[in-house]
Amino acid sequence: MKTLYILNNPQLFEQCTLAMGTQDALLLIEDAVVLSEQQSSDENHFVLEEDLIARGLNSGSSWNKKNYNEFVALTLEYNKSVSWL
């Protein structure tokens, strides 16, 4: 069972990643996209491109960027999604 964790609150990064298993993935959205500038990336770490652009943060980050089309695809690729609120 692979789970996609969706995080929108940058303050909950540690809690959220602690709960994740090795098969799971993390997608940063909304205000949590700033974490892509602060935390090291991983092959299962993604960041929502539209929200990065909206905050002027689109350059430099080594995180794997996903647009909304790919966001929808991720929710189907993984068995379920958990929005960590």
Partner 1 sequence: MATFSLLVTANPHSSQGQFSAIQFAKTLLHQGHVIKRVFFYADGVLVASRLNCPPSDEYNLTKTWAKLAITHDFELTACVTVAMKRGIINATEADRNALTGENIDPAFEISGLGQLTEAMLESDRLVTFG
The binding site for partner 1 (CB under 8 A) comprises: 6, 8, 29-31, 50-51, 68-69, 71-72, 75-76, 80-83, 85
Nearer to partner 1, 18 or 85 (CB): 85
Q: Which is nearer to partner 1, 43 or 80 (CB)?
A: 80
Could you tell me the smallest distance in angstroms from the CB atom of residue 69 to partner 1?
Answer: 6
Alpha carbons 23 and 68: distance in angstroms, whole number = 22
Cα angle value 42/26/57 (rounded, 5°)? 75
Strands of the 3-7 sheet, one edge to the other: 64-66, 45-48, 25-28, 3-7, 80-84
Closest distance between partner 1 and the C-beta of residue 82, in Å?
8
Minimum CB separation of residue 40 from partner 1 in Å reads 25
Of 9 and 44, the one with the shorter C-beta distance to partner 1 is 9
List strand residue ranges (DSSP E) for 23-68, in order.
25-28, 45-48, 64-66
